[in-house]
Amino acid sequence: MSTDPGRASADPERPRAQRRAARRFARTLAATIAALAVAAALLGVAGTLRGPRVESVEFDPAGAVSRAGQRLVLHANQQLAPVAARQLVVRPAADATVTSTEAAITITFTGILRYDARYTVQVRDVRGAFGGASSTLEYDVRTPGVDLYVLHRDDRVAPDGTKEPDTIRRASLTGTEAGAVVFGAPRIQEYVALPTALAVVTIAADGTDALSLAPLDGGAPQELLLPSHAHVDMIAASPANDLLGFALTGDATTSSPAVDNALYVYDLALGTGVPRPVAGLDGAPLQVMDWEFVPGTSSLVAQAYDQSLFLTDVLASGPLTPLGAHAELDGFVPGTTRAIVTDPAGQSTIDLSSGAVAPLRLAAPPERGIVYPGKLVVLGAAGDYVQELVRTTDDRTFVPYLVRSSGGRTRTLYEPPTSGTRIQDYCVSPNGQYAAVETVPDTARPDGYPGAASFSPVTTNLVDLDTGLVRRSFDGFQLSWCR
């Protein structure tokens, strides 16, 4: 044995112990790998036996009730074989298309969905890209309701001799309550609703107009800067882009010239309080007979005094795009950017993406005695529309009613339940689900407002366009859908 204290004594057992530990580790590692391989194989077999399943979903419920072409994307847990149209089932029925790419299936709703509704979407017999069992991929779509606003003009006089204020109230599709007051003023001419505020035109004691933004959270209203002695007309909004537009008539001031039905826009995102004019071809503010925002966009279509139509994007700096001359601008086909125009030869649609004009083929309603046609709202280019008619009875009274034409069949949609009640106006909800019908009893009194004149009282009825049932009624008019 060495007596050198600097050298460690040799341990003949240590190499043997290390070899045994290495062999145990190798056996453990091999067992672990084998177990993992078996587990992976079992999972693969299980996946093959069960078929694909949904791991995540992309969908915008709010967009589905306001715009056509919204997509529901189902992301699966594996790559998929191509799917066909016959595999898609939507209940209740809704027009949709289906495509697949790698591990995703995209369902595109070609129309607009109903408010506050549940849809079950199924893609049946879905298989993985490499074979195996099939499965049904399913998802329940729940669409939201919608906040509504309605104007109530109050002709009562308070004890101090002043007029009771007009109010704009919030309402819903369900319930019977009157709704909370969002804004009040002595005389409200008209308004439009935006995501965060109401834009309200009020009438001052001297008969001129003021335009204010009233925050929906109850904050103090902001009055927009207008020329002196101004009058505001044809107010409208593009809620998706926080844009407000209106026609303005006003006297000249030191900072602005006189204007007559000049089209102005205001971008709420800027918050300056100063609207700006839409320039015509000559660079001066464009004078309009009519105008409308293109739904869901920052563009608008305006009709000049010579009946010429122009398209322009108010957030861009490009020139006006001429769309030809037409007698009337009648809105848009719901869920599309196809403008509806009327000429002596009939109605047509203008595809704003190409400028192409196509005639509308609308079947005539069935005659029941002497019938006078009234306002017509197109729901689809294939002859789907709502129209007000007035018929005469044997005792020479006039009965107003609405008809719905769809699929070559025309039926009565709504008729006031009380004799002598007339239809003041109506509009169709943006998703084409309801008609908001304003009715006036024969005892109503004119309210005498200089702009957007009406009667007192007025009732607005929400009529389901599929069933003709009245969903609910509101005291007041100018439902926010119609603005």
> What gap in Å lies between CA 311 and CA 318, rounded to an integer?
10
> What gap in Å lies between CA 73 and CA 100, rounded to an integer?
9
Question: Running DSSP on this structure, what letter comes out for residue 279?
Answer: B
Look at residue 210 and tell me if it is in a domain.
Answer: no
Distances (CA, A) of 181 to 152, 292, 392: 10, 28, 40
Domain coverage including residue 60 = 54-142
Look at residue 157 and tell me if it is in a domain.
Answer: no
> What gap in Å lies between CA 396 and CA 15, rounded to an integer?
119
Walk along the chain (483 residues) and give the pLDDT tens digit of each residue. 444 444 444 455 556 666 666 666 666 666 666 555 555 554 555 555 679 999 999 999 988 998 888 999 999 999 999 999 999 999 999 999 999 999 999 999 998 999 999 999 999 999 999 888 999 999 999 999 888 999 999 988 888 878 889 999 998 887 766 688 999 999 999 999 999 999 999 998 888 899 999 999 888 999 999 887 889 999 999 998 999 999 999 876 655 677 889 999 999 999 899 999 999 998 889 999 999 999 889 999 999 999 999 999 999 877 899 999 999 999 998 878 899 999 998 889 999 988 889 888 776 666 666 888 889 898 876 678 999 999 888 777 889 999 999 877 889 999 999 989 999 999 999 888 999 999 999 999 999 898 889 999 999 999 999 999 999 999 999 999 887
18: tokens are 């290390």
Provide the residue type at 77 as one letter: N
Domain harbouring 130, CATH code: 2.60.40.1220
Look at residue 98 and tell me if it is in a domain.
Answer: yes
298: tokens are 């920052």
Look at residue 126 and tell me if it is in a domain.
Answer: yes
Nearest to 239 by CA among 146, 331, 312, 169: 146
Look at residue 426 and tell me if it is in a domain.
Answer: no
Global pTM reads: 0.82
Distance, CA of 466 to chain centre: 19
Look at residue 106 and tell me if it is in a domain.
Answer: yes
Number of domains in the chain: 1
Look at residue 92 and tell me if it is in a domain.
Answer: yes
Look at residue 87 and tell me if it is in a domain.
Answer: yes
